Chains A and B, each alone.
Chain A
């Protein structure tokens, strides 16, 4: 495959977490082709902070847990590295502090973010970590590789389903 064609590829990562009753949080990362075809999936077993961590981290507990702990572990674990990671939970933008990969959060309809820090990709608006404004330019430069009406939210639903299936299977063993 020519270098030119290779540069025209983009791999998208879709990361989500869910809370399992009494067991903590599980996280999943689905890496897809530009058209949403699955390439690799990694998920964690439940991760539960202890009481000390809950007290010491306070309000920063969830960003630390979801972004740094679960998110960066998943990102390190995948063999097929995504060019960008898309999340639905704003607290997961914390992940960006621990990786060089751009992380974007799907824009909720009611949310309002500065236009300069958001980009439209695949028909959906994305916004980025406030300390990494360069991500916006990077994503814009690759946005043409994502089909215009690709639904960037749909793969996250797949991640949730896969997480639920994993939890059901692993916890019933």
Chain B
């Protein structure tokens, strides 16, 4: 600590002085300022608009009116479901069985579109609703093979087309060549029409011997359909004709012709569909059969025949009249017939649709008469011609025809000695056929020849099938021929065996004598050469050289192609003219005395056995 005293701190002298910060602002008068301070003067006036503003539609714009066109399709009949499909066909056809559709969710999606056969509206369907009805039908493959209608076998593509064609037509002539399945197509067409509610009551007319065949085919292709056959005494038949609730009636031509006109008009049955099988039966429009068929009350008309023209184009006119596509008594010319055929006839030949079908091999067996036959033949011909010449102007085609028949019979066998070159040749061929286990069918014009042959060909266990065999015994005969390995030969008459039978298990056909019309011969041949045939079919025509048979054969061959203009290409095998009177006279270098040279003199099939 120090003794030294420090001097006290002095207070600073603070001096405050005020400073005037205000500035003098001088304004310079320039003239604008008073104007800026004035309240502006406002004035309003009304200006008229030229147009009123419009309003566009709101966000919920007007609903566009939508008009509809509708079609309700008939639901059709509800049939009982079909039982399991059969394993094999009754007639031995070898067709692919349709596998039942699977219903599995893990199936792969359909990779490739299957073939579809669509129903096309016929040109005659004018109204929109009619056309839509056909257009809206499902493809036949779906309809038939798919789910609802069980088919025992897969139809061929051309058969689908045929079914679709039939389905859409009120007037149809299905003229497929024999063996292509007209029966099956017709049954399936009927089945679909019933299912679609288009028909309720159907009448099917066929030759009497074919009724069991139709029954069998209905059982196979549409077993859910009840079929009633008109038979029995007149009271029972009357009851059957008028019985309601029967979808399908089958009757033969004779019963139709006899029964229907007798039923009073007000009770006469009406049908949605009338089917005529072997419709060439009404080729003569003047016939009672044709007249009755035309008078049946019906909405649809179908005709089935493998030979729409057997002799003359005019035969088509009768069929078209039945189909209601030409006026009564109309006589269309060839051009008109051809046009009508395009619209109303469906005809396919095996050549066109069955390229994979085994071939038909035709061979003519030209034979020399045996000594006894030759002698008998020469004598008969010589005497016959002398007699004809002696008759002068009184000679008729019937006289010539009788001579032809006599000579043809001798070419079959000599009635005195029993010698027959045809029998010798046949026996030789049959040895080989029987040894190979094959089967043969033989056709002849005469039941007498068939019986005569049966006696002499016992080694081959021949079976006889002709008009003399009762109808009830015919089916067992065919059944035995198919299944008995020792029955190698079936002897048939043209009249009874040529139509409607399925004999495709036979690989050989013999024409022991010639029919007057190749169309009938072809029908006979096609019993064997038809769908289901797996082997080539060998056709042997027996023709005795230097006889009436050779001359007839030559004339018939020259006439085969005359009808191509009407029925189209690929159809030269099955239509032909039978001999007319001029040609029969010409066989003996005679001239017809009659003016009517176009008259056919062949025996009618109804007269044949």
Which A residues fall within an 8 A CB radius of B? Answer: 30, 32-45, 47-49, 52-53, 56, 69-70, 73-74, 77-80, 109, 120, 123-125, 143-144, 146-151, 154-155, 158, 161-162, 165-166, 169-170
Q: Are B136 and A162 in contact (CB under 8 A)?
A: yes
A150–B101 CA distance with the chains assembled, in angstroms = 9
Q: Are B138 and A36 in contact (CB under 8 A)?
A: yes
B110 within 8 A of A: yes
A133–B73 CA distance with the chains assembled, in angstroms = 33
The segment out of B6-14, B127-135, B451-459, B556-564 that lies at the interface is B127-135
A169–B139 CA distance with the chains assembled, in angstroms = 23
Residues of A within 8 A of B110 (CB): 123-124, 149, 151
B136 and chain A: residue at smallest CB distance: A38
A73–B108 CA distance with the chains assembled, in angstroms = 35
Q: Are B104 and A42 in contact (CB under 8 A)?
A: no
A161 and chain B: residue at smallest CB distance: B135
In the assembled complex, the CB of A162 is this many whole angstroms from the nearest CB of chain B, namely 5
Q: Are A38 and B138 in contact (CB under 8 A)?
A: yes
Q: Are B66 and A158 in contact (CB under 8 A)?
A: no
A42–B71 CA distance with the chains assembled, in angstroms = 6
Please name 8 further chain A to chain B contacts, defined as beta carbons within 8 Å, in addition to the given A45-B66, A73-B68, sorted by A numbering.
A35-B146, A43-B70, A48-B64, A77-B70, A120-B106, A148-B102, A148-B104, A148-B107
Given contacts A155-B138, A158-B136, whether A143 and B105 have CB atoms under 8 Å apart is yes
A74–B107 CA distance with the chains assembled, in angstroms = 33
Interface residues on B, range: 35 or more
Q: Are B101 and A147 in contact (CB under 8 A)?
A: yes
B75 within 8 A of A: yes
Given contacts A35-B148, A42-B69, A73-B68, whether A52 and B56 have CB atoms under 8 Å apart is yes
Per-residue A-contact encoding for B132-161, CB less than 8 Å = 1, 0 else: 100111110011001110000000000000
A123–B106 CA distance with the chains assembled, in angstroms = 8
Q: Are A166 and B139 in contact (CB under 8 A)?
A: no
In the assembled complex, the CB of A23 is this many whole angstroms from the nearest CB of chain B, namely 13
**Partner pick for B66 among A30, A47, A56, A151, CB 8 A cutoff:** A47
Q: Are B147 and A52 in contact (CB under 8 A)?
A: no
B116 within 8 A of A: yes
Residues of B within 8 A of A165 (CB): 128, 131-132, 135
Per-residue A-contact encoding for B46-77, CB less than 8 Å = 1, 0 else: 00000000001101010110111111110110
27 A–B contacts, CB within 8 A, in A order: A34-B147, A36-B146, A37-B138, A39-B73, A41-B72, A41-B132, A42-B69, A42-B71, A44-B68, A45-B67, A45-B69, A48-B64, A53-B61, A56-B59, A70-B66, A73-B66, A124-B109, A143-B105, A147-B146, A148-B101, A148-B107, A149-B102, A150-B101, A150-B146, A165-B132, A170-B69, A170-B128
A162–B116 CA distance with the chains assembled, in angstroms = 17
Residues of B within 8 A of A41 (CB): 70-73, 132, 136
